[in-house]
Structure 1
Amino acid sequence: MQEPDSHSVDEHARGGSRLPAAEFLRANHDALLTDWQQAVFERLNRKDSTRPPWLIDHMPELLTALTEAMEVGPEALDERLEAAHAAARLDAGFNLGEVAQEYALLRRCILHRLEALEQRLRPGDLTRLEETLDRVVTRTMTFFWDMKQRILQTLDRMSEATLDDPDMETLLERLLTRLMESALTVDTAAVMLLEDDALVVRAAMGLSTDEVKGLRVPVGQGVSGLAALERRPFFVRSAATDPRVLVGPLRRAGLRALYGLPLMDGERLLGMAYMGSRTAFAFSDSDVLLFHAVAERASAHIAQAELHAREHAARKEAERSLALLDSLLDAAPVGIAFLDPDLHYLRINDTMAHLNGHPVEAHRGRTVREMVREDVVESVERPMRQVLETGQPVQDVLIQGPDPVRGRAGSWRVDYFPVRTPDGVLLGVGNTVVDVSDYKRAETALQQAIDFREELIAVLGHDLRNPLHAVNASAFMLGKIPALDTPARRSVDRIRKATARMARMINDILDFARSRLGGGIPVTRQHVNMEELCQGMLEELQVVYPERPLVLEVHGDDLWGDWDPDRVTQVLGNLVVNALQHARNDSPVVTTLTGESAEVVMQVRNEGNPIPPELLPHLFDPFKQSSVPNAGSKHRSLGLGLYIVSEIVQVHRGSVRVETAAGDGTTFTVRWPRVPPPLGYLTP
């Protein structure tokens, strides 16, 4: 149809001949739509995005159809347009009154614009316009009501399908059956669930049912896979010939229309549902709307079934975990308990319950103050509250008191720790109790034995020193008698050697007792010359061991430092005597002194078999037993000589190490710092 001449419209506006209704509607088409849109927003108060207040795709066409009906008659009205408008409003959640009000607002917008323009329609047109609008309203509301009743009836039948709580596949097949019974053009329907990265057909009704079940379509491939990836519906006009349809049985069945839409749980994709027809190239709006309702209900059931499955699995896992926990609690040799933030017992094992003096069943739901003995309740409750306040464990708490199980005094070590969920929420506090009564008694007895041994050694050392001095002095006097024959002089030498060895042993005993009981070996530093100290000590030892060569080698001019002279000679004496005991009888023991910038290095070397590897880690331990090579028997000694060496060197902030190898003999190296380094300094 041709547009009206603008000159003619102007003449009508100036009060000429009256305006035909069709020309008025066509000339004010866009303005009427704008007025109507604003009226709908204001009157229906539908500005939210989830339920759109109007669908502009339908109203412009409806207004155009109304214009044509005013020219050629009511037959120009297309029922499909009215049905589509009714389906869209039903899908958007409108009720029947809101649909009626939309048309009432359109009628009011037309009348208001006529008044605003001071225009009058030609005789009879206003009546015809009113009748045509009434026809549109009546048919739209009839379509709306019929579709709503149809959907409600289908949903009622779908609800009946769930009454006996069927399994997922049976439920989905029942829903699809209700759809096919309500939509006569639908010949097949199916639900595809998302499993990993593919859509799997888990329920199907109608054509090719057995063939399609279990088929997989990768997400992103084919028409259904791409629609699932993009979360949108799809429509295929001829499924039998469209290469995008990857489900072979659907193509072989000769399907025409194929419509599908994603099944969603909020933003989460559950799968896809589709329906197909072998007779229709397109589904009616009412069938599509019904399919949406069925799909929405199916999505809800699928999501609910998944939730129930997860809850069931979680419940089973919780029961399994609690069973394992109960088994662990029952079998554990320690006391274990878990309490809530108000310090009510949640779980406790027999061991802990017996310590509290009540059965396990009596603890559940009761507080610590109600179940723990009065004499220890404060010491038990305090660390628990500390754990709840700080969220940090409290460990190694010692509790002592009467043991209700053994009927005697007991000691227990208790550890308290926070109990949290995987995401860090504090659920309460747990504690473990270990009976350390026997350990404490054994520890006390052992400490008493050690103290007694060390005190006894110290007393013996002091008491033996006086008679030993008398023996040594007597031997010295006997050695001065000129008339002694050779055998007698040898006997005197043996006495002097024995007394010298006993003197060193007593000194070692006393130093050991000081280090254990008195807080360390005392030293008095003096500015002395290391060469003079070592030379004097070797001369004394040479008198005792005249048959063994003792050699002193000196490298460097500066051998001065701040050391305790008695302790330096004691270290050298112990190392040389140790070397004499383990060297070959004809080999010399060589002592080497080397002056370096910050320290003096003392080395004592002997030739002999190397020290066995298994003895090296314990070489400087007290009271060790070592074997003399090639002697064939145990060397009887207290094993304190090298221990005292290590202690004295440590007090001087130095270091001692040993090197031993077959063919090279054994060398002890002692580093003496000239000036003691600050505390915390480690000599390499």
Structure 2
Amino acid sequence: MMLESELHTAGKEAAPRTRTLEVAEFLRARRPQLLEDWQRVMRTLHPERETQTTWLLDHMPQLLGVLADLIDHGPEAPLTDVPDEHAMSRLDGGFDLGQVSVEYALLRKCILRRLETEKALPAPGELERMEDALDRIVTRTMTSFSQGRQRILQALDRMTRAALDSPSVDSLPSRLLTVLVESALSVDSAALLLVEGDRLVVRAAEGLGASDALGISMDLNEGFMGEAGAQRQPMALRSASTDPRVVLPALKQEGLRAVYVVPLLEGEHLLGVAYMSSRTAFVFSEADTLLFRTMAQRATAHLVHARLQARERQAHTDAQRSLSQLDALLSSTPMGIALLDRDLRYVRINQAMADINGHTKEAHLGRRFQDMAPVTAVETFEPLFQRLMDTGESGDAFEFTIPGDARTFQASFHPVRGPDDTVQGLSCTVVDVTHHKQAEAVLQRAVDFREQLMAVVGHDLRNPLNAINASAFLLSRAEELEPAERRAVDRIRNATARMGRMITDILDFARSRLGGGIPVARQQMDLAEVCQAALEELQVSAPQRALLFDTSGDTRGCWDPDRVSQVLGNLVANALQHGQEDRPVRVSVRGGAREVVLDVHNVGEPIAPALMSRLFDPFKSMPSAAPQPDLARKKRSLGLGLYIVSQIVGVHGGRVEVRSTREDGTRFTVHWPRQEG
């Protein structure tokens, strides 16, 4: 109320001393309203900064207080550092000198408009004192702003010159740090710590303790340095030597005071931190911290650029080395290799491919396929090349010959894709397979001869074997045979039965390998009845072994009864051969909804895991842990029985499963579909 009465009586009753205080008191009393007015006009002037919440006020409340003090004490009053700090803040915020000048002009208008709005009449001379005080503040701010910008420009220019000759990543930090220290005031030491893995390592140091600091490392999140890096914000200390957050020995020297840390950031990625320290100052000036931050940002840019250049040089070196190795590989390989572009022009070719085409390597480059390859190859492959590039498919194992050349070649073609997955060309590989084809023909003739011989031998052995079997049968009917003679006749009959099964396996193998396949004659039958009859015949040939049989469910279907008996015979023979002689062989037949399952189980040494993958291959050996006298007997098998089983079951549309463990024994399970698969 006192201020309001004084303003209404200004120029009439107030004494001169009182009039000199009125505008100053008005500024103090109306500071919230003046700040609100000033923020409103500044937002209108700078709409692009609307999202920033603190830039408007900044130092303006303190500046109004400084302005009021200067009006109170006159032109001889000392000016504080607030205008300098405001200048550095605006310089750091990206303002130019004209914008700083405009904001002071707007402040002046806001004060005058508020005086006019409230009808406050300053005493004579007070507005002039306010103008003089405001001019002092503006001049100080402009001067600090210009000097600060000049220092920054000079320092940045020096940093640019330090990095002009593209120094290495190892030497660049030391150069930049030297410029930084020489450009800042009140700095006794400074260092750059770079992120290496999960550590911060001192890679450059200048000033006090620099030689001892180099190479020292700390955890990435350790101490004050780690805290500044984690928060991605500059941080300051007032007394480094006594602060427990300081872990670097170089900063714990006695008497060390101010420390200012700036993170080096590439976007959000932390490259390291830079710090400066002082023995004389507890707090660095705004000008020094702004300069340090600006130079740290420029140092970061130089470091990133140097690293990119180093990676580029390394990538170029690696690429050249890879190309040299590729050229050496292409030159030494006997395989013909070429790369064609979309127009079927040769981009790269090795000597082997050039020799096949009958031209030099150099003559191929840039020329079309149709101009360099043999005519027959062009007619055969050029339409194929176009189709492969249009569809993106690959072409493998094309065999061809060249007229007048006895050699045989095999070619493969694959589309070459770019980074965007589009087909940019075609790779061609050609191999001389003449020797392979010749060896393959010789091998095939040998295989054909072997299989034909087996078929002939198997067929021709049946007649004498039948004669032996018939004679043994007649002898077994004779009543005057002694027991020893009868046992000898039984052994003859059992041996001929085994030989008959072996001959049948040989003939079936020959049919399957010579292309005829194993013939089957399907008919309606009861699988359980057929298996029981076959098992009774097997029991006669092995009276000393126990063969157990059980059945369940509907076991009728459409199969070849002779082939079913052959499958059961081979499986039971395998079980008798490899099972324990004092344990029975169990056979079961179970009828299901869509199939009938035949199961043959024996107890004995389990099948070796290495053999499982080739169990049904022909002519394999079956390792056994049987005693030595039995081992010779167990190895007399041709190794065709299980192969024939798999072929017969496959023709019927079924499958065979095997499980073999030491605890549960060995079990062959045959699935017979009721209908043809």
Deviation at 1:235, TM superposition (A): 1.8
**Which aligned pairs between 1:153-172 and structure 2 lie closer than 5 A?**
153-168=154-169, 170-172=171-173
Asked if 1:123 corresponds to 2:124, the answer is yes
Deviations 1:215-260 (A, max 9, x none): 2233333322321222222222233333333233443363232222
Q: How many angstroms apart in 1 are the aligned matches of 2:79 and 2:127?
A: 21
Asked if 1:5 corresponds to 2:16, the answer is no
1:243 maps to which residue? 244
Q: How many angstroms apart in 2 are the aligned matches of 1:573 and 1:239?
A: 94
Deviations 1:451-475 (A, max 9, x none): 677779889999999x999x99xx9
Deviation at 1:175, TM superposition (A): 3.5
Opposite residue 2 of structure 2, the aligned amino acid is: D
2:396 maps to which residue? 396
Deviation at 1:120, TM superposition (A): 3.0
Check 1:75–1:409 CA distance in 2 against 1; reply closer, same or farther (3 A cut): same
Deviation at 1:140, TM superposition (A): 1.4
Q: Secondary structure at the match of 2:187?
A: coil
Q: Secondary structure at the match of 2:112?
A: helix
Opposite residue 410 of structure 2, the aligned amino acid is: W
Check 1:636–1:145 CA distance in 2 against 1; reply closer, same or farther (3 A cut): closer
The percent of aligned pairs where both chains have the same amino acid is 46
Opposite residue 402 of structure 2, the aligned amino acid is: P
Deviations 1:157-206 (A, max 9, x none): 33333344444555444433334444442222222222223322222222
Deviations 1:67-93 (A, max 9, x none): 222222234462411111111111222
Opposite residue 109 of structure 2, the aligned amino acid is: R
Q: How many angstroms apart in 2 are the aligned matches of 1:193 and 1:537?
A: 88
Opposite residue 518 of structure 1, the aligned amino acid is: G
Opposite residue 192 of structure 1, the aligned amino acid is: L
Q: Is the contact between residue 223 and residue 245 of structure 2 (CA under 8 Å) also seen in structure 1?
A: yes
Q: Is the contact between residue 348 and residue 363 of structure 1 (CA under 8 Å) also seen in structure 2?
A: yes
Q: Is the contact between residue 198 and residue 217 of structure 1 (CA under 8 Å) also seen in structure 2?
A: yes
Opposite residue 130 of structure 1, the aligned amino acid is: E
Deviation at 1:527, TM superposition (A): 5.3
Opposite residue 299 of structure 2, the aligned amino acid is: A
Deviations 1:251-293 (A, max 9, x none): 3363232222112222222222222222233322222222223
Q: How many angstroms apart in 2 are the aligned matches of 1:271 and 1:532?
A: 85
Uncovered stretches (5+) of structure 2, i.e. residues with no partner = 476-488, 578-584, 603-609, 622-628, 659-666
**Which aligned pairs between 1:218-233 and structure 2 lie closer than 5 A?**
218-233=219-234
Q: Secondary structure at the match of 2:81?
A: helix
Q: How many angstroms apart in 2 are the aligned matches of 1:434 and 1:221?
A: 62
Check 1:248–1:369 CA distance in 2 against 1; reply closer, same or farther (3 A cut): same
2:317 maps to which residue? 316
Asked if 1:29 corresponds to 2:31, the answer is yes
Q: Is the contact between residue 36 and residue 105 of structure 1 (CA under 8 Å) also seen in structure 2?
A: yes
2:43 maps to which residue? 41
Deviations 1:440-493 (A, max 9, x none): 34445655666677779889999999x999x99xx9xxx9xxxxxxxxxxxxx9
Q: Is the contact between residue 346 and residue 368 of structure 2 (CA under 8 Å) also seen in structure 1?
A: yes
Q: Secondary structure at the match of 1:297?
A: helix
Q: How many angstroms apart in 2 are the aligned matches of 1:170 and 1:577?
A: 83
Q: Is the contact between residue 414 and residue 433 of structure 1 (CA under 8 Å) also seen in structure 2?
A: yes
Check 1:233–1:387 CA distance in 2 against 1; reply closer, same or farther (3 A cut): farther
2:93 maps to which residue? 92
Deviations 1:319-343 (A, max 9, x none): 3333333333334343334456666
Q: Is the contact between residue 551 and residue 590 of structure 2 (CA under 8 Å) also seen in structure 1?
A: no
Q: Secondary structure at the match of 1:60?
A: helix
2:406 maps to which residue? 408
Q: How many angstroms apart in 2 are the aligned matches of 1:502 and 1:184?
A: 108
Check 1:275–1:434 CA distance in 2 against 1; reply closer, same or farther (3 A cut): same
Asked if 1:190 corresponds to 2:191, the answer is yes
1:677 maps to which residue? 674
Q: Secondary structure at the match of 1:114?
A: helix
Q: Secondary structure at the match of 1:228?
A: helix
Deviations 1:70-129 (A, max 9, x none): 222234462411111111111222222111111111122223333334443221222222
Uncovered stretches (5+) of structure 1, i.e. residues with no partner = 480-492, 543-547, 583-591, 606-613, 659-668
Q: How many angstroms apart in 1 are the aligned matches of 2:54 and 2:34?
A: 16
Check 1:343–1:23 CA distance in 2 against 1; reply closer, same or farther (3 A cut): farther
Deviation at 1:137, TM superposition (A): 1.6
Check 1:622–1:12 CA distance in 2 against 1; reply closer, same or farther (3 A cut): same
**Which aligned pairs between 1:6-405 and structure 2 lie closer than 5 A?**
7-8=4-5, 11=8, 20-47=22-49, 54-76=55-77, 78-168=79-169, 170-252=171-253, 254-338=255-339, 345-365=346-366, 368=369, 371-377=372-378, 380=381, 394=394, 396-402=396-402
Which residue of the other structure, out of 517, 520, 525, is the alignment partner of 2:518? 520
More displaced stretch, 556-565 vs 233-242? 556-565
2:484 maps to which residue? none
Check 1:13–1:461 CA distance in 2 against 1; reply closer, same or farther (3 A cut): same
Deviation at 1:412, TM superposition (A): 0.5
Q: Is the contact between residue 531 and residue 564 of structure 2 (CA under 8 Å) also seen in structure 1?
A: no
Q: Is the contact between residue 39 and residue 56 of structure 2 (CA under 8 Å) also seen in structure 1?
A: no
Q: How many angstroms apart in 2 are the aligned matches of 1:576 and 1:277?
A: 96
Check 1:644–1:13 CA distance in 2 against 1; reply closer, same or farther (3 A cut): same
Deviations 1:582-609 (A, max 9, x none): 9xxxxxxxxx998855589899x9xxxx
Opposite residue 411 of structure 1, the aligned amino acid is: F
Q: Is the contact between residue 169 and residue 307 of structure 2 (CA under 8 Å) also seen in structure 1?
A: no
Q: How many angstroms apart in 1 are the aligned matches of 2:586 and 2:201?
A: 88
RMSD of equivalent CA atoms: 6.0
Q: Is the contact between residue 654 and residue 671 of structure 1 (CA under 8 Å) also seen in structure 2?
A: no
Opposite residue 241 of structure 2, the aligned amino acid is: A
Q: Secondary structure at the match of 1:56?
A: coil
1:436 maps to which residue? 433
Q: Secondary structure at the match of 1:252?
A: coil
Opposite residue 402 of structure 1, the aligned amino acid is: I
More displaced stretch, 230-239 vs 439-448? 439-448
Q: Secondary structure at the match of 1:62?
A: helix
1:486 maps to which residue? none
Q: Secondary structure at the match of 1:20?
A: helix
Q: Secondary structure at the match of 1:224?
A: helix
Check 1:340–1:253 CA distance in 2 against 1; reply closer, same or farther (3 A cut): farther
Deviation at 1:41, TM superposition (A): 2.6
How many residues are matched? Answer: 630
Opposite residue 218 of structure 2, the aligned amino acid is: V
Q: How many angstroms apart in 1 are the aligned matches of 2:387 and 2:119?
A: 86
**Which aligned pairs between 1:409-428 and structure 2 lie closer than 5 A?**
410-414=408-412, 416=414
TM-score, normalisation: structure 2: 0.71
Q: Is the contact between residue 394 and residue 417 of structure 1 (CA under 8 Å) also seen in structure 2?
A: yes
TM-score, normalisation: structure 1: 0.70
Deviation at 1:14, TM superposition (A): 14
